[in-house]
Chain A
Amino acid sequence: MSNQISVGDASPGCQKVDPILVADNVSRQFGGLTAVDVAHVEIPRGKITALIGPNGAGKTTLFNLLTGFDKPTTGTWTFEGKNLAGVASYKVARLGMIRTFQLTKSLSMLSVIENMRLGAQKQAGERFLAALIRPLWRAAENRITEQAEELLKRFKLDAKRDDFAASLSGGQRKLLEMARALMAEPKLVMLDEPMAGVNPALTQSLLDHIKDLKSNGTTVLFVEHDMHMVRHISDWVIVMAEGRIVAEGPPAQVMKDQAVIDAYLGAHADIDLGTVSIKIAKDDN
């Protein structure tokens, strides 16, 4: 089977036509446990890639490794051709690879707008001495605020602009964290379970936002358990189990893959898990 994303047939660790992120031999051991052991993986540029797998498959650990939040036992990886192994997490972010967290990290005691402004890059006023001289950073601050307000409007958080992030609901915090990540205008957004804990009523708008990202040319890599979301918005699916990549390919093809059914879907292979969340969403309305 051929597609426009991989070179040749889709198989675990296959080569991509235009990869943005390429990782080799990335492994992470916690004592005797090998949490991640990825021989080779490429993330296609400008596409939405889903990273799925059962609990404990090493998805979040792989995220942490790639973004510099954890140090691998072995491995190298490049982002847009730049070697990222051993690079500090904040430098990874500055290169345009921004992640979110499974447990939302909204800065509760900062207002929503301040959360957003914090996401912006290249604000001179964030330097120690420049901070004292307002004219040095006022223009940038105005530009950042404008950009933040626009994003808040898109994410329907503009009414909450001056509220503390602590007063937002769980789903709104997910939205805020995603919007904040976009302030940096990243080339690659890595979303760790963007749907976890989100009210089904918000699911659709979150899905739309992720699709918008793609149409703006941003590459998206996300970890998700919600099969409905994986099926409907991803262009490519990578399946992990026990630290390894066991399958990849377009969603329709991957869902039929015997390795995936064994590793992930197990006994529930014949149930479209997606229908569950759709049904709840309808009931809510």
Chain B
Amino acid sequence: MDWSLVFGNAAAELISPTTAAYALAAIGLAVHFGYTGLLNFGQAAFMAIGAYGFAVSVLNFGLSFWQAIAVSMILSVLFALILGIPTLRLRSDYLAIVTIAAAEILRYVVSTTSLKDLTGGSSGLSGFATEFYAINPFPTGNYLFWPFDVTEKELWVRVFGWSIVALATILVLLMMRSPWGRVVKGIREDEDAVRSLGKNVYAYKMQSLILGGALGTLAGIVFVLPRAVQPGNYVTGLTFFIWTIMLLGGAATVFGPIVGSMIFWVLLSLTEGVLQGLVNMGVITFLSTDQIGPVRFILIGLGLMALVVFRPQGIFGNKKELQFNV
């Protein structure tokens, strides 16, 4: 059993593009829930819009890399409007119900056989990232050092993904420190009070839904760049992983989701590696190697429960500002 491999794999998750994608989606969710108080349970749908909007634009309509991103963003805004127009005037619970349903509808639509020519049906899409790798500025070779050693392609997708995370962080920080951020935080606390002070609460909630959704869409694009688009990835479980990450780091923080995503992926990799090692060495006899996958999620779930009990504001959160109390 090579323990350095286990720890190396876990450490590599710190900068993996998947970690970046989940961090980005969680920043979007922090805009929704942590700052504005919107209960969005459909962040997976915004990610799916990024993935499919991008891949379909490239594969079926021959659009360039940047055009495909623009199309995804437009679709994301439209989706936010469709979700928001009927629900944002109602109590916050309705948004939760509508988003979770809309996310499932979207997943069923993209995996249906009648749309196979467009979305690839249940087998999904691949081969859409050719142009992305063609514009890779890094020459062929190996980069960085153990355990982060990567090829030029892997480096490019990491640099791209984390740059977007950095830009999103700056954007959200600026927004939340502005008077606009003050109004949305006020809405989180009590929307009637904010309304009584002459603010158009509905418009602010819509703007917040669009902003956080757009970050989710970018996350969807970053997520699929190093892999194929698979409809099975956009299940409700994805949304709940994003929620876990956001709460882990602190809902009303910008850096929280990033660190939350790192911890989440490192722990998943570490528990898998360690459990696998222990089973192979015969230390753990009551588990088979196929059972390890689900067991690590049980462990993560226990960890989240402990977090909610002992540190409800998340790792970076201010206990006075926001607790896990919805």
Chain A residues with a Cβ under 8 A of chain B:
67, 69, 88-91, 93-94, 98-101, 105-110, 114, 117-119, 121, 123, 125-128, 130-132, 134, 137, 141, 164, 166-167, 177, 180-181, 183-184
User: Closest A-chain residue to B203, C-beta based?
Assistant: A128
B174 touches A131 (CB 8 A): yes
Q: Is B8 an interface residue (CB 8 A)?
A: no
Chain B residues with CB below 8 A from A109, complex form: 185, 188-189, 320-322
Chain A residues with CB below 8 A from B194, complex form: 107, 118
CA distance in complex: A164, B181 (Å):
16
What are 15 A-to-B residue pairs whose CB atoms are below 8 Å? A89-B196, A90-B200, A93-B197, A98-B198, A100-B196, A107-B185, A107-B189, A107-B190, A109-B188, A109-B320, A117-B179, A121-B198, A126-B199, A137-B178, A180-B197
Which residues of chain B in 124-178 are interfacial with respect to chain A, using CB atoms and an 8 Å cutoff? 171, 174-175, 178
User: Closest A-chain residue to B197, C-beta based?
Assistant: A119
CA distance in complex: A119, B320 (Å):
22
Q: Is B227 an interface residue (CB 8 A)?
A: no
Which of A106, A107, A108, A125 makes the CB contact (< 8 A) with B178? Answer: A125
Interface residues on B, range: 20 to 34
A132 touches B198 (CB 8 A): no
CB distance from A166 to the nearest CB of B (A): 7
Chain B residues with CB below 8 A from A99, complex form: 196
Chain A residues with CB below 8 A from B320, complex form: 109, 164, 166-167
Q: Is B66 an interface residue (CB 8 A)?
A: no
CB distance from A180 to the nearest CB of B (A): 7
CA distance in complex: A213, B251 (Å):
40
B192 touches A101 (CB 8 A): yes
A164 touches B197 (CB 8 A): no
A134 touches B178 (CB 8 A): yes
B179 touches A105 (CB 8 A): no
CB distance from A204 to the nearest CB of B (A): 26
Chain B residues with CB below 8 A from A90, complex form: 195, 197-201
CA distance in complex: A94, B190 (Å):
18
CB distance from B318 to the nearest CB of A (A): 9
Which of B183, B189, B192 makes the CB contact (< 8 A) with A126? Answer: B183
Chain A residues with CB below 8 A from B198, complex form: 90-91, 93-94, 98, 121, 184
A110 touches B185 (CB 8 A): yes
A164 in contact with B178 given A69-B192, A93-B195, A184-B197 (CB within 8 Å)? no
- Would you list the 5 A-B pairs with minimal beta carbon distance, nearest first? A131-B180, A105-B193, A93-B198, A125-B179, A131-B178
Q: Is B182 an interface residue (CB 8 A)?
A: yes
Chain B residues with CB below 8 A from A128, complex form: 180, 207
CA distance in complex: A177, B194 (Å):
11
B196 touches A67 (CB 8 A): yes
CA distance in complex: A27, B321 (Å):
41
Q: Is B186 an interface residue (CB 8 A)?
A: yes
CB distance from A127 to the nearest CB of B (A): 7
A110 in contact with B182 given A90-B201, A164-B320 (CB within 8 Å)? yes
